Structure 1
């Protein structure tokens, strides 16, 4: 992981810890190209966590937005999920 990426995650973790009492409900939002198994890969990343996942295709069908509402134990667990899904080609985390 490059230095800028690490600094981003460090700042995010500090903000999460300031604004939450753990465990906490967290809303992840992603946009992925609607190709291959991108949506499935995001869904599988949250498998067995009791997540509520909603997907919406764009008007053209080229992209899918994914909202994941899930109870997270701590800020590090959130960071770990962002890192896990960052390997999906073309994913945008909002």
Structure 2
């Protein structure tokens, strides 16, 4: 994703979050990750110590792992910040 589209995407997401939720609010992140323990660990570390509930589910062939994270976030900006942190992990797809 190029930076311009990324900025537009996050601005749109922020607007949607502000309109649809009262903050702080529970938020569900969903990511698809190559089934490599170090990549899954990198993502779980990003959400460590903030009360996140993390559920991993491997694909039928074991190639990818779905990582679902439910956590109370303080604001739309906090939600977006976590997306950016996870975006730095190579091979991750945000849903």
TM-score greater than 0.5 by the shorter chain = yes
Secondary structure at 1:9 match in 2? helix
Distance in 2 (CA, whole Å) between partners of 1:36 and 1:30 is 14
> Over residues 19-41 of structure 1, what are the superposed CA-to-partner deviations in whole Å (9 max), with x where a residue is unaligned?
00000000000000012511101
TM-score w.r.t. structure 1 length?
0.96
Residue matched to 1:93:
94
Q: How many residues align?
A: 94
Distance in 2 (CA, whole Å) between partners of 1:82 and 1:25 is 15
5+ long unaligned stretches in structure 2:
none
Secondary structure at 2:8 match in 1? helix
TM-score w.r.t. structure 2 length?
0.95
Q: Where does structure 1 differ by over 6 angstroms across 4 or more consecutive aligned residues?
A: none
Distance in 2 (CA, whole Å) between partners of 1:6 and 1:92 is 17
Q: What are the within-5 Å matches in structure 2 for residues 46-61 of structure 1?
A: 46-61=47-62
Cα-Cα RMSD: 1.0
5+ long unaligned stretches in structure 1:
none
